[in-house]
């Protein structure tokens, strides 16, 4: 049964902001729930947790609100022996606690003038609050929640969702969202970026949660990297022509521009390499939010990700005037995203690029994480609603045959990034499930949905009705029970 654990005091006003209403309506209640209504049958051949990060602003913004400003909240569902338990908790960041004490927002959002922040916080970009609302991974037995503008990184207990605090190894400039966990070694690979030289750092944290490696990565100026990739022997960072102009920074404004006449650059670093070991590769001008995977093939390092045809699209006319610029930069159709492949020849320094599929507007993909760093065959991407940052369905790409399968969530139903779960004793790369939270605006509820990864077109294996309608979100992670701290492993 659902149990209301806590109701966070909120001062958010009612308004018509497209990312504070509808499927983006914030949550302030924290629940524990078991014995939930189930449509279908929960598989008994999976054991672990699905965790999704969402943005839930508790107080009115000082300036214009952007959905990436909202306070981080984790939603977790635990599967074991054909049963499921759910809970959700805010990430108790230092910024969240300070604003709870003040009863109002203290930091400007990412679209505002930093001079209007009442407080300055921590990390490389202290003019905005580290809301820990962007990405989530599991490393060294615990959940790690991160922020896109290089926050502190917060650990949470995977049984209780209690915020455990900040790791002592986190560098002064923080860590970006999208650190990567290598399943073969248990290592966490991370980067950060800042507005001061050398503008980027790269590091490795061991499976014991201790910093093993940390080096500067010199860039020509401040950049806005969002993701990275790795293979067994290399890490791949990026220098895209998306950046804050120095003149704007000097005036106190963080307004990114995209220069289509500049190439994209990729830094290939041996996992424990030194700055002088970095090899730079040039490629077609673009911006990439998310990469899928990388692997080594002879002299080549092969990397897949989501290429943007139009990284700075024109304002989106289908929304209200004041939101048009923001909406276009959140709209997959405006950005024209598609699956793309880069091949970096480590012997010759040559880059070869290939568009993998022509017809789909896709992003936020996942793979079977057992193949991270290895050659993979299947990618599971989301499709987006035209005009809004909402996910309307899934596409499975078979990179070997070119075949695709598609599943639409349905009118008024919006999902989240859907990690792959391998069945116990799986016999193939796609032998398992995809898991997602879906917000259903028609029935005013949310549910956890499992799809058969071999046949997503068949529709849900099961639907687990959550105790409340949850806010739409972005990133998510699956972790098997044996990856978690001992308190939540199956006995």
Per-residue pLDDT of the chain (491 residues; tens, 9 = 90+): 789 999 999 999 878 898 999 999 999 999 999 999 999 999 999 999 999 999 999 999 988 899 899 999 999 999 999 999 999 999 999 999 999 999 999 988 887 777 778 777 655 556 789 999 999 999 999 999 999 999 999 999 999 999 999 999 999 899 999 999 999 999 999 999 999 999 999 999 999 999 999 999 999 999 999 999 999 999 999 999 999 888 888 877 788 899 999 999 999 999 999 999 999 999 999 999 999 999 999 999 999 999 999 999 988 887 877 888 888 888 899 999 999 999 999 999 999 999 999 878 999 999 999 999 999 999 999 999 877 789 999 999 999 999 999 999 999 999 999 999 999 999 999 999 999 999 999 999 999 999 999 999 999 999 999 999 999 988 999 999 999 986 555 33
One CATH from 3.90.1150.10, 3.40.50.970, 3.30.365.10, 2.120.10.30 for 2-488: 2.120.10.30
Per DSSP, the three-state class of 243 is strand
> How far, in Å, CA of 95 to CA of 396, rounded?
39
CA dist 67 and 367 (Å) reads 26
Interior/surface letters 161-178, b for 16+ CB within 10 angstroms, e for the rest? bebeebbebbbebbbbbb
Contact 438, 458 (CB under 8 A): no
User: Exposure of 206 by Cβ count < 10 A (0-12 exposed, 13-18 middle, 19+ buried)?
Assistant: middle
Tokens standing for 156? Answer: 């949470």
| Model confidence, pTM | 0.96
Element spanning 335, H or E: helix 332-335
Q: What is the secondary structure of 245-271 as a DSSP string? A: -HHHHHTT----EE-TTSPEEEEEEET
Q: How far apart are CA 383 and CA 396, in angstroms?
A: 11
Does residue 364 sit in helix, strand or coil?
strand
The H or E element spanning position 334 is: helix 332-335
How many CB atoms are closer than 10 A to CB 45? 15
**What residue ranges do the domains of the chain occupy?**
2-488
């Amino acid at each position: 049964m659902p149990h209301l654990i806590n109701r966070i005091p909120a001062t958010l006003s009612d308004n018509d902001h497209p990312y504070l209403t509808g499927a983006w309506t914030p949550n302030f209640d924290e629940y524990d729930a078991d014995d939930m209504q189930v449509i279908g049958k929960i598989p008994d051949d999976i054991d672990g947790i699905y965790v999704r990060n969402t943005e839930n602003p508790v107080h009115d913004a000082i300036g214009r609100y952007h959905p990436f400003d909202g306070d981080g909240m984790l939603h977790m569902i635990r599967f074991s022996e054909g049963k499921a338990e759910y809970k959700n908790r805010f990430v108790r960041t230092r910024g969240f606690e300070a604003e709870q004490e003040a009863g109002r927002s203290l930091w400007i959002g990412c679209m505002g003038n930093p001079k209007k922040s009442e407080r300055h916080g921590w990390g490389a970009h202290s003019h905005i609050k580290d809301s820990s609302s962007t990405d989530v991974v599991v490393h060294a037995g615990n959940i790690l929640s991160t922020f896109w503008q290089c926050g502190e990184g917060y650990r949470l207990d995977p049984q209780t969702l209690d915020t455990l605090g900040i790791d002592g190894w986190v560098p002064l400039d923080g860590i970006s969202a999208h650190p990567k966990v290598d399943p073969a070694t248990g290592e966490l690979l991370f980067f950060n970026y800042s507005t001061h030289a050398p503008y980027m750092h790269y590091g490795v944290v061991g499976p014991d949660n201790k910093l093993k490696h940390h080096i500067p990565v010199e860039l020509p100026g401040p950049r806005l990297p969002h993701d990275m990739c790795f293979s067994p022997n290399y890490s791949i960072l990026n220098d895209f022509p998306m950046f804050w102009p120095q003149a704007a920074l000097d005036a106190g404004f963080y307004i990114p521009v995209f220069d289509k006449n500049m190439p994209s650059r990729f830094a290939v670093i041996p996992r424990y390499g030194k700055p002088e070991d970095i090899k730079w590769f040039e490629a077609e001008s673009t911006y990439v939010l998310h990469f899928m995977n990388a692997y080594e093939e002879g002299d080549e390092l092969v990397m897949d990700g989501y290429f943007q045809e139009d990284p700075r699209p024109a304002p989106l006319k289908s929304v209200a005037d004041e939101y048009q610029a923001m909406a276009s930069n959140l709209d997959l159709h405006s950005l024209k995203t598609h699956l793309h492949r880069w091949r970096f020849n480590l012997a010759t320094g040559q880059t070869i690029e290939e568009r993998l599929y022509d017809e789909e507007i896709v992003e936020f993909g996942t793979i079977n994480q057992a193949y991270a760093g290895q050659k993979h065959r299947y990618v599971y991407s989301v499709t987006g609603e035209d005009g809004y940052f909402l996910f309307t369905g899934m596409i499975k790409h078979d990179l070997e045959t070119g075949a695709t399968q598609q599943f639409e969530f349905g009118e008024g139903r919006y999902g989240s990034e859907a990690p792959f779960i391998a069945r116990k004793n799986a016999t193939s790369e796609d032998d398992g499930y995809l898991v997602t939270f879906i917000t259903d605006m028609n029935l005013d509820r949310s549910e956890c949905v499992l799809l058969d990864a071999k046949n997503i077109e068949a529709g849900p294996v099961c639907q687990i009705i959550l105790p409340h309608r949850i806010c739409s979100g972005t990133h998510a992670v699956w972790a098997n029970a044996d990856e978690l701290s001992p308190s939540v492993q199956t006995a």
